[in-house]
A and B are shown apart, each in its own frame.
Chain A
Amino acid sequence: EDKVVQSPLSLVVHEGDTVTLNCSYEVTNFRSLLWYKQEKKAPTFLFMLTSSGIEKKSGRLSSILDKKELFSILNITATQTGDSAVYLCGRSGAGSYQLTFGKGTKLSVIP
């Protein structure tokens, strides 16, 4: 099993705070690292990272990959109550099509 470990598992912040979610992975045949947001049912795509050190941004969300240290972070600035969700981190392999996810981080943003 190719492990993906996310931390923290849950987090409660106030609106306006900045949060950092962590994801570490095992190196076996790594191809890409993916972040998804799950509010109720279907996870929605946020980012796919393949190159180390290149930050991807979308509005208040950003993510970066460190292939040497085998981790990625997802930053959310100026959090809003609409950011409350489970954030999932997954990795895909180079040698196979296997796509493995971590347990997720449950983020709760309170007014």
Chain B
Amino acid sequence: DGGITQSPKYLFRKEGQNVTLSCEQNLNHDAMYWYRQDPGQGLRLIYYSQIVNDFQKGDIAEGYSVSREKKESFPLTVTSAQKNPTAFYLCASGQRDYGYTFGSGTRLTVV
């Protein structure tokens, strides 16, 4: 089945730890995106990538890092510099003229 897979579904992080969220797609999409969703905030863009080995900062990139070594994969690292990382993280992929598909999300909680 074609789709976009995020893992894990739930993730707990201790203060000061880096954690990496996985996003994999087998839809052959060029573009991939990471969003953060907080209650009442909609989707805020963290990073996006339109091609392998290239990515751009979104509106709230501070404290996050990404890589795009393969077309299928776009992992997001939440670093210790992100002061308020507890949120729901959504990954998406797509083609500009054909729409975008979202993963099921990862809920990150700082403990």
Contact B97 A90 (CB under 8 A): no
Contact A45 B99 (CB under 8 A): yes
Interface residue A41 (Cβ < 8 Å from any Cβ of B) = yes
A36 to B101, CA, bound (A): 10
Contact residues of B between 20 and 48, Cβ < 8 Å to A: 30-31, 33, 35, 40-45, 48
Query: Which of the residues A34, A42, A44, A97 comes within 8 Å of B90, measured between beta carbons?
Result: A42
**Chain A residues whose C-beta falls within 8 Å of the C-beta of B88 in the assembled complex:** 41
**Chain A residues whose C-beta falls within 8 Å of the C-beta of B41 in the assembled complex:** 103
Task: Please count the residue pairs between chain A and chain B whose beta carbons lie under 8 angstroms apart in the complex.
Answer: 63
Known pairs A98-B48, A99-B92, A101-B35; A88 contacts B42 (CB<8 A): yes
**0 or 1 for each of B90-111: is its CB under 8 Å from A? (1 = yes):** 1010101111111111000000
Q: Give the nearest-CB partner of A105 in chain B.
A: B42
Kindly state the interface size class of chain B when it binds its partner: 20 to 34
**Chain B residues whose C-beta falls within 8 Å of the C-beta of A42 in the assembled complex:** 90, 102-105
**Chain B residues whose C-beta falls within 8 Å of the C-beta of A104 in the assembled complex:** 42-43
Contact B43 A1 (CB under 8 A): no
Interface residue B56 (Cβ < 8 Å from any Cβ of A) = yes
Contact residues of A between 26 and 54, Cβ < 8 Å to B: 31-32, 34, 36, 41-45, 48, 50
Query: Which of the residues B43, B45, B96 comes within 8 Å of A31, measured between beta carbons?
Result: B96
Contact B96 A32 (CB under 8 A): yes
Interface residue B58 (Cβ < 8 Å from any Cβ of A) = yes
Total chain A interface residues with beta-carbon distance under 8 A: 26
Contact B31 A97 (CB under 8 A): yes
Contact residues of B between 55 and 98, Cβ < 8 Å to A: 56, 58-59, 88, 90, 92, 94, 96-98
Q: Give the nearest-CB partner of B58 in chain A.
A: A98
Interface residue B50 (Cβ < 8 Å from any Cβ of A) = yes
**A interface with B by C-beta (< 8 Å):** 1, 6, 9, 31-32, 34, 36, 41-45, 48, 50, 88, 90, 92, 96-104
**B interface with A by C-beta (< 8 Å):** 30-31, 33, 35, 40-45, 48, 50, 56, 58-59, 88, 90, 92, 94, 96-105
